[in-house]
Amino acid sequence: MKDLHYCENMKLVDAWYEHDEGCFILNLNRVATEIDLQENHYLEEVGQIIETIAIKVRYCPYCGKKVDGASTSLSPSFVHYDFSKW
Ligand SMILES: [Zn+2]
């Protein structure tokens, strides 16, 4: 398995890369803050994952490095998961 890109710019957020069927995928989580808990009573605790988005990429958007193993042809797409509702 190829080493996935480790980006210094991503270390403070809940973000990671994965490699799936020739595509490099950037995953980002949005986690609940105290304000989110006040506005949405379905949420239970600070730090709970509210949303996850997975985006196919060829280059890291935070440092510009081309990610190893990324497909040369890539159609833009993303997957969005919303965990803020029942
Ligand atoms: Zn990077």
Distance in Å, CA 22 to ligand 1 centroid: 18
**Residues with beta carbon < 5 A to ion ligand 1?**
7, 60, 62-63
Distance CA 43, CA 35 (A): 11
* pLDDT surpassing 50 at residue 13: yes
Q: How far does CA 32 lie from the centroid of its chain? A: 15
* pLDDT surpassing 60 at residue 83: yes
Distance in Å, CA 50 to ligand 1 centroid: 24
* pLDDT surpassing 80 at residue 58: yes
pLDDT, mean over the chain: 87
Q: What is the pLDDT of residue 50?
A: 95
Distance in Å, CA 19 to ligand 1 centroid: 15
What residues contact residue 20 under an 8 Å CB cut-off, 6+ apart?
Answer: none
Distance in Å, CA 38 to ligand 1 centroid: 34
Higher pLDDT, 12 or 40: 40
Which burial class, exposed, middle or buried, applies to 37 when counting CB atoms under 10 A from its CB (0-12, 13-18, 19+)? Answer: middle
Q: What is the pLDDT of residue 29?
A: 94
